A = this chain, B = another copy of it.
């Protein structure tokens, strides 16, 4: 599946803002943490702003912050803001309408895919940005939490130079009955 990382990046971005707690973040700072280009972040921030998840301010001393409290933003909100379509697609070209299976498989599949999408949405609706931040906290020292530049004061070191390796995803084993 050619899954996109848009959802992961969007959650990351908003988590930074929840972490920064009202202080507006610049796209450059966010980009540094996400390890990408600032324009990529600004593009995504525009989408998030359209869904009323963040507010941005132009001009000097500008930046973006959450539009509401982290506990009032669910992962479903984020998902719907940045991922346009459902989890699966139907055929790229419509099947042969002269075949008894081909003419109807789309309807049946749509039913299945809607069930899948609903299941995904139910899971995402049950977690808020606040939950994400909570899960994050135990992992880091919370000593210098406030007022610290989010990404890293000066130049990114380890992540930017040289080869990068994608962290493998440990996949959950199926639950065949």
Contacts and interface: CB of A to CB of B under 8 A. Distances in A.
Interface of A: 1-9, 11-12, 15-16, 19, 32-36, 74-76, 80, 83-125, 127, 132, 135-136, 139-140, 150-152, 156-160, 164-167, 169-172, 174-177
B122 A92 contact: no
A116 B120 contact: yes
Contacts of A136: 100-101, 104-105, 108
Given A35-B96, A104-B140, A176-B76, A3 B169 contact: no
Given A36-B93, A86-B3, A98 B151 contact: yes
Contacts of A32: 96, 99
A92 to B, nearest CB: 5
B140 A102 contact: no
Given A16-B101, A85-B176, A95 B3 contact: no
Contacts of A84: 1, 177
Shortest beta-carbon contacts, A-B, top 4: A94-B171, A98-B152, A33-B99, A104-B139
Contact of A12 (B35, B98, B105): B105
A122 B114 CA distance: 14
A123 to B, nearest CB: 5
Given A99-B152, A122-B119, A166 B93 contact: yes
